[in-house]
Amino acid sequence: MPDFEYVRPQNMSEAVDFLKVHGSETRILAGGTDLLIQLRNDEISSPFILDVKRISELQTGIQQKNGVVSISASATVSEIILNNLINAYFPALITAAKTIGSVQIRNRATIAGNICNASPAADSAPPLLVYGAQVVIAGSKGMRRIPLNEFFIRSGVTALQKDELVAAIELPVPTTKMGAAYLRRTRRRGHDLASVTLCCAIEQTGTVRLAYGSVGPRPVLVVDKSGILVDKKASDEAKMATLESMFAQASPSKTSMRASPAYRLAMLRVLGKEGLDLAISALDELNEGEKSLNEGGK
């Protein structure tokens, strides 16, 4: 492992002041489950490693405030899986989080780190995109918020500037009922990177939000408001044509070892159809649940 200086700021202003001067020669350490591998393999070297885990402002965990659930940058994937708010409002994020690495990895890895690495295969990305995540960024000029969809640029590259760090990820609490599902294809069961990831969410209004990853340089979010995909009277052809147009941005790498472009594109369609059906069932279940609750009250 290359030598570096370890920096452990106690609060956000210390962190931001350091990055203002040394941002271009600093790598940020949260869970470290990707960073330490890159350092070990000499894929990166950096004079400074800045550990964000003891920044006092980042000790907030997962909180709900003003219609938004905020996930602090130091919250681990395991904390997310166990959290009641995330389970209640964002079940597809739980499904995705459970597929990240192993127990040992999830006990260290953070969702903020997962998006900052900007892997096209990041499991948390499709559900976060579908649920409308915003990234809260701290920098020397203050705080800013951008939609996650604008945060991802391409593999390994984000909109984060050298003097900035991610403070939190915010998810708006759904205002209408939403059915969602997360799916992935891997080479083997268990502990493996995904060859295709997909999250589908359906709102009560018929709007379908679809996000997919590992089939291009960055995860993609597409929204369809036509209502065709949830229309029980619409023909399968019409639905497939709509789904097909939603997959137009998929352009899998020809050089990846995990799967060929043809396989990924074929599986994307399989997952799309499956995800849509699962999301519709999830929404139906929510509606049924409410109906029986109302009837029970009479």
Interface positions with other proteins (CB under 8 A): 1-6, 8, 29, 32-33, 36-37, 39-41, 49, 51, 53, 78, 101-105, 107-108, 190-191
When the beta carbons of 95 and 149 are compared against other proteins, the nearer one is: 95
Q: How far is the CB of 40 from other proteins (least distance, A)?
A: 6
Is residue 90 within 8 Å of 171, Cβ to Cβ?
yes
Cα gap 147→50, rounded to integer Å: 25
Nearest to 115 by CA among 89, 93, 95, 92: 93
If the CB atoms of residues 37 and 153 are measured against other proteins, the closer one turns out to be 37
Minimum CB separation from other proteins for residue 126, in Å?
Answer: 21
> Using CA atoms, how far apart are residues 162 and 116, in angstroms rounded to an integer?
12
Q: CB of residue 294 vs other proteins: minimum separation in angstroms?
A: 35
List, in sequence order, every beta strand (DSSP E) within 79-227. Answer: 134-139, 142-147, 152-154, 157-158, 164-172, 178-186, 194-203, 208-213, 220-224
Residue 8 CB, shortest distance to other proteins, in Å, is 8
CA 60, distance to chain mean position in Å, is 19
100-103 contacts, C-beta under 8 A, 24 or more apart: 100/124, 101/33, 101/77, 101/191, 102/191, 103/78
Closest approach, Cβ 26 to other proteins, in A, equals 13
**What is the distance between the alpha carbons of residues 115 and 268, in angstroms, rounded to a whole number?**
21
Q: Find the shortest distance in angstroms from Cβ 194 to other proteins.
A: 15
Toward other proteins, which CB reaches closer, 41 or 294? Answer: 41
The nearest distance, CB 122 to other proteins, in angstroms, is 16
Q: Which of 249, 243, 245 is nearest to 154 (CA)?
A: 249
Query: Cβ closer to other proteins: 53 or 239?
Result: 53
Which lies closer to other proteins via its Cβ, residue 51 or residue 57?
51
Q: What are phi and psi of 204, to 5 degrees?
A: -55, -35
Rank residues 52 and 183 by Cβ distance to other proteins and give the closer one: 52
**Closer to other proteins at the Cβ: 81 or 286?**
81
126 sits in which H/E element = helix 125-130
